[in-house]
Amino acid sequence: MIKNSREYFMNEALKEAKKANDKDEVPVGAVVVLDGKIIARAHNLRESRQSIHAHAEFLAIEKAAKKIGSWRLENADVYVTLEPCPMCAGAMIQARIKNLYYGAKDPKTGAVESVIKLLDNPFNHKIYYEGGLLMDKCSNIPFDIL
């Protein structure tokens, strides 16, 4: 796998998902990439923290904002193993994320392509998105293939 390719970054997100899995959390992982480098990584911690916003990509965006000292992540990309829910897709609009890449689809709460196409609507910020990246790996949990 070529370093810094999209597949490479998604594989790093998968490593985060494995950490969630090891903690009996729903196994979702995410990384935030800026200028070709991972600036934040996180995994789902919803039950551990009893917090609605402890989804992987939400935590990763928060960490990235802290790292650069601003909530504006205009040139940052998010890689997340599962299609984001409305809260997380909405958080990406708020954070002005540039590109979103996700792995598996979520027919139950997916807000990018499955239940609703949230990011296709005329909000104040437009995000380019692409699903299905390393989909087989992202869909095959537990992670014996990592």
- Under the rule (CB under 8 A), what is the footprint of a copy of itself? 46, 50-53, 58, 61-62, 65, 69-71, 85-91, 93-95, 108-109, 111, 115-116, 118, 121-124
The vertex-97 CA angle with 34 and 92, nearest 5°, equals: 130
Q: Annotated binding residue at 138?
A: no
- Residue 142 preceded by cis peptide, ω within 30: yes
Q: Which of 16, 57, 62, 113 is catalytic?
A: 57
Give the shortest CB-91-to-a copy of itself separation in angstroms: 5
Backbone phi, psi, residue 80, to 5°: -140, 140
Round to the nearest angstrom and report the end-to-end CA distance of the chain.
12
Q: Annotated binding residue at 55?
A: yes
Task: Tell me, yes or no, if 25 is annotated catalytic.
Answer: no
Give the shortest CB-32-to-a copy of itself separation in angstroms: 12
Angle between helix 56-68 and 86-94 (nearest 10): 20
User: Cα(102)–Cα(82) distance, rounded to whole angstroms?
Assistant: 6
Cβ proximity to a copy of itself: between 69 and 144 the closer is 69
Q: Annotated binding residue at 85?
A: yes
Annotated binding site for Zn(2+): which residue ranges? 55, 85, 88
Catalytic residues: 57
